[in-house]
C-alpha cells in the first residue's frame, strides 16, 4: 500500500503550528491594543501579510481565535497555580494562601491595568463559556489537591475536601473574577491577607454537629 503525499498540503501542515501561533500572537496584540470588538480578521491577516481566507484555514471565526487566545493566557496562570499546589517545602496553609494571592495578583494585573483585556475575557464569557469553565475547573482542581493533601497530613480537618475546596474557591470570587475586579474596583473588600486568614480558619475547625437548623425552606442552590 502506498500513500500519496500532496507536497503543498505537507508543507502547509508543517507550517501550521507556526502560522497558528503567529495568528494568535497578532490577535492578542490587537485585542490588547484596540480591543476585541474593533479587531477584525482582516486586520490580523493584513499584519501577517496573508489573506483572511488563510486565517480562516486555521480558525473558523474570530470567536475561535479569541477562545485560543484566552486559553493561552489562562494556561499561564493555571501552570503557576498547579505548581504552587504541589510545591515542596510549603505547608498546606501556605499553599492555599499563595494560590489565592497569585490568583488575585494575576487578575488585578490582567484586568485593572489593561481594561481592553476585559473586553476579550467578557467576549469569552458570553460567547465561549466552555473555555472559562475549563479554567475555573483547573483552578478548582489545584485547590482540591491542596485541601486533600492538608487533610491527609492532618493539617486540615474537613469532612469533604471536594466541597470544602469548592467553597474556598467561590469565597474568593470578589478577588479573582475579571468582571468584579475590572468593573467594580470600588466595591468594598477586606485586604486579601485578612480574607486568607479568615478562610484558613474554616479549614482547621473540626466539623460541628450542631449546624443551625433552617428556619425556612432551603434557598435554591445555584
Q: CB 51 → a second copy: shortest distance, Å? A: 37
CA dist 185 and 187 (Å) reads: 6
| Count of residues in contact with a second copy, rule CB under 8 A | 69
When asked if residue 191 is in the footprint of a second copy (CB under 8 A), the reply is yes
Q: HSE-up of 101 (CA within 13 Å, CB side)? A: 12
Range list of β-strands (E), 98-157:
none
When asked if residue 125 is in the footprint of a second copy (CB under 8 A), the reply is yes
Region from 23-31, 42-50, 56-64, 181-189 binding a second copy, contact rule CB under 8 A: 181-189
Candidates 28, 81, 104, 116; binder of a second copy (CB under 8 A) is 104
Cell of 22: 503567529
Q: How far lies 151's CA from each of 58, 87, 117, 160, 161, in Å?
A: 46, 16, 38, 9, 8
When asked if residue 192 is in the footprint of a second copy (CB under 8 A), the reply is yes
Q: How far lies 210's CA from each of 57, 200, 206, 207, 214, in Å?
A: 61, 21, 12, 9, 12
When asked if residue 164 is in the footprint of a second copy (CB under 8 A), the reply is yes
* Residues contributing to the site for a second copy (CB under 8 A): 90-91, 93-94, 97-98, 101-102, 104-105, 108, 125, 129, 132-133, 136-137, 140, 163-164, 166-168, 170-175, 177, 179-181, 183-202, 204-205, 207-208, 210-216, 218-222
Amino acid at each position: 500500500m502506498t500513500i500519496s503525499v500532496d507536497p503543498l498540503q505537507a508543507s502547509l501542515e508543517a507550517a501550521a503550528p507556526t502560522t497558528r501561533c503567529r495568528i494568535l500572537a497578532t490577535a492578542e496584540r490587537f485585542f490588547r491594543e484596540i480591543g476585541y470588538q474593533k479587531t477584525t480578521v482582516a486586520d490580523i491577516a493584513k499584519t501577517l501579510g496573508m489573506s483572511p481566507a488563510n486565517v480562516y484555514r486555521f480558525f473558523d471565526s474570530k470567536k475561535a481565535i479569541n477562545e485560543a487566545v484566552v486559553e493561552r493566557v489562562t494556561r499561564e496562570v493555571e501552570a503557576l497555580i498547579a505548581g504552587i499546589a504541589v510545591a515542596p517545602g510549603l505547608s498546606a496553609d501556605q499553599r492555599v494562601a499563595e494560590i489565592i494571592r497569585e490568583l488575585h495578583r494575576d487578575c488585578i494585573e490582567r484586568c485593572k491595568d489593561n481594561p481592553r483585556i476585559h473586553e476579550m475575557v467578557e467576549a469569552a464569557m458570553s460567547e465561549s463559556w466552555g473555555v472559562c469553565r475549563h479554567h475555573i475547573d483547573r483552578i478548582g482542581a489545584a485547590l482540591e489537591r491542596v485541601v486533600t493533601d492538608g487533610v491527609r497530613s492532618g493539617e486540615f480537618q474537613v469532612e469533604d475536601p471536594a466541597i470544602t475546596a469548592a467553597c474556598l474557591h467561590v469565597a474568593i470570587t470578589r478577588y479573582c473574577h475579571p468582571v468584579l475586579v475590572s468593573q467594580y474596583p470600588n466595591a468594598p473588600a477586606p485586604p486579601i491577607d485578612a480574607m486568607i486568614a479568615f478562610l484558613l480558619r474554616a479549614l482547621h475547625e473540626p466539623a460541628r454537629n450542631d449546624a443551625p437548623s433552617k428556619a425556612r425552606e432551603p434557598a435554591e442552590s445555584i
